[in-house]
Every structure is written in structure tokens, then in C-alpha cells.
């Protein structure tokens, strides 16, 4: 077999997901956090496509299509929320936007 094994794609997807997860955890800029979420969504897409290729079933491509559509919708609404937060507080730091948090 000369093709790239499934394992390599899964490892690549896991590494990308890990990078995105670390970014979500350590970055405080809401925009960069959203970019890292996009990275994690891409890693999930890669997993879908890799298994789809392994099974020879094109259904995974349809799922990846929906993931892309949902990610676009998420980016639009998320960025609108970021703009609204910036307008009211002049900052996009996710630690400062916790008005709804319980006191204490």
C-alpha cells in the first residue's frame, strides 16, 4: 500500500485539535479565541474526511459541508457579539466580559 495511512491523518487532526484547545485556554483576546475554535472545527472536519476516505463512503463529506456552514454562521454571530462587547466596554478580553457571572 503506497497511500498515506489513516493513522497519520488522525494524528494530524489530534495535533491540530490540541493546538486549538491550548489556544482557547491561554488566549484572552476573544477574536483569537474564535480563530482557535475554527482551528478545532477544521481538525474535526479532517477526522470526518479521513474516516470517510477509509470507509469509501461519501457521507462524511456531507457532514464536513455542514460543519463548514455552521462554522460560517458561528463566525458571523460571534463577531457581531464581539463588536457589541467592544462597543459597551472598549475591550475584547474574555476575562473582563463576565457581567452575568455570579458574585463571589
Q: Is 89 in the site for other proteins (CB under 8 A)?
A: no
CB of 103 to other proteins, least distance (A): 18
Would you say 79 and 34 are in contact if contact means Cβ atoms under 8 Å apart?
A: yes
Cα 97 to Cα 47, 83, 94, 104: the distances in Å are 33, 12, 5, 16
Sketch the per residue contact string, 13 through 52, with other proteins: x for CB under 8 A, - otherwise: -xxxxxxxxxx-xxxxx-xx-xxx-xx--x--xx--xx-x
Would you say 12 and 49 are in contact if contact means Cβ atoms under 8 Å apart?
A: no
Q: Site residues for other proteins, window 47-76 (CB under 8 A)?
A: 49-50, 52-56, 58-59, 61-62, 64-66, 68-76
Amino acid at each position: 500500500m503506497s497511500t498515506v495511512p489513516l493513522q497519520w491523518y488522525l494524528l494530524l487532526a489530534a495535533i491540530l485539535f490540541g493546538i486549538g484547545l491550548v489556544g482557547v485556554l491561554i488566549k484572552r483576546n476573544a477574536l483569537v479565541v474564535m480563530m482557535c475554535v475554527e482551528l478545532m472545527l477544521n481538525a474535526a472536519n479532517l477526522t470526518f474526511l479521513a474516516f470517510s476516505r477509509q470507509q469509501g463512503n461519501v457521507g462524511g463529506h456531507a457532514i464536513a459541508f455542514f460543519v463548514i456552514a455552521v462554522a460560517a454562521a458561528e463566525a458571523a454571530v460571534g463577531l457581531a457579539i464581539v463588536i457589541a462587547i467592544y462597543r459597551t466596554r472598549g475591550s475584547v478580553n474574555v476575562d473582563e466580559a463576565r457581567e452575568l457571572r455570579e458574585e463571589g
